[in-house]
Amino acid sequence: MIYLFDIGFLPVRIWDVLDIIIVGYLMYQIYKLLRGNIAFNIFVGVLTLYVVWWLVNQLEMDLLSAVLDQFVSVGVIIIIIIFQPEVRRFLLFLGNTTLRQRSNFLGRILDRNLESTEEKVRQLRALRSAIVRMSKRKTGALIVLAGNLDLDGLVSSGVAMDADITEPLLESIFNKHSPLHDGAVIVSNGRLQSASCVLPVSENPNLPSSAGLRHRAAVGITERANVAAFIVSEETGQISIAAEGELRRKLDEQELKSLLSEYY
Ligand SMILES: Nc1ncnc2c1ncn2[C@@H]1O[C@H](COP(=O)(O)OP(=O)(O)OP(=O)(O)O)[C@@H](O)[C@H]1O
């Protein structure tokens, strides 16, 4: 036992400190997942129910306790069903972080970074100039950067493309006369995977009322997966980004450049 110090009669070990830090971190992540979401209200409701159940048990109020027992005994299953998107997002967050660390580590060992970096720079430039040009022409666009994630099950498949990421292709897809312009483009594993995809729409009541379906769809996918979505407004030409369930609007070219590199 690695003993640290005493608080009154309580000996504190290094594992206790670690325990508190981990629980604090997990609670912060849960708060971040649920913040501004209708699920937060449900979470508070569940917590209240649990506190009432505990109190009723302590006070030995048998009848009420028997009724509440029925809820609490199936509570875990109910919570998993209600919070399915949040649980999924949390697990994706954990998996994605470790996968990213692992691929960075492997990349360094194999020293194959040089070639991929040049290709990545070209793809980022294509994305940036396509977004800027579409913004100037007020062409509506929605591009999801999914890293190495597979969004099957979250996104209705759209039209599979598996194409190189180029500026003319992106502009052609979102051209108003193109049959593919409705919906989102998904970019993952350095390829333009699919177009015309339908994303889950966010129900966050805190989004500005001016955010229509395109912006809500962008926020919706980032609530469910660890991805970022770039939006060009057809109405105003403004460029926005959705990430971690939040919308940031009116990006200038410099901000666009750094956010693209951050989330690519
Ligand atoms: N669930 C969805 N998934 C992907 N794309 C969607 C979804 N819902 C709407 N869209 C896209 O958004 C377009 C409609 O955008 P709408 O005008 O409602 O949104 P907006 O956020 O106000 O955007 P804009 O500022 O461009 O007008 C549709 O034509 C379609 O291409």
Backbone dihedral angles phi then psi of residue 230, each to the nearest 5 degrees: -105, 135
Mutate to test the pocket of ligand 1, among 131, 177, 178, 213 (most ligand atoms within 8 A of CB): 213
Residue 103 has pLDDT above 60, yes or no: no
What are the CA-CA distances from residue 261 to residues 117, 124, 125, 131 (Å)? 11, 7, 10, 14
Residue 72 has pLDDT above 60, yes or no: yes
* R_g of the chain, CA atoms, integer Å: 23
The domain ranges of the chain are 3-107, 116-263
Of ligand 1's listed atoms, the one at least distance from the Cα of 238 is: 25
Q: Give the pTM.
A: 0.69
Contact in structure between 233 and 136 (CB atoms under 8 Å)? no
Q: What is the pLDDT of residues 46-65, one digit of tens each?
A: 888 888 999 999 998 889 88
Q: Dihedral sign for Cα 133, 136, 139, 143, please.
A: positive
Give the pLDDT mean for 257-261. Answer: 93
Ligand 1 pocket check for 199: Cβ under 6 Å = yes
**What is the CATH superfamily name and number for domain 116-263?**
DNA integrity scanning protein, DisA, N-terminal domain (3.40.1700.10)
d(CA 244, ligand 1 centre) in Å: 19
Supply the ipTM of this predicted assembly.
Answer: 0.96
* DSSP class of 10: E
Residue 38 has pLDDT above 70, yes or no: no
Ligand 1 pocket check for 229: Cβ under 6 Å = no
How far is 90 from 92, CA to CA, in rounded Å? 5
Of ligand 1's listed atoms, the one at least distance from the Cα of 210 is: 22
* DSSP class of 61: -
Least confident of 93-107, 134-148, 171-185: 93-107
Ligand 1 pocket check for 182: Cβ under 6 Å = yes
How far is 40 from 49, CA to CA, in rounded Å? 14
Q: Dihedral sign for Cα 255, 234, 194, 191, please.
A: negative
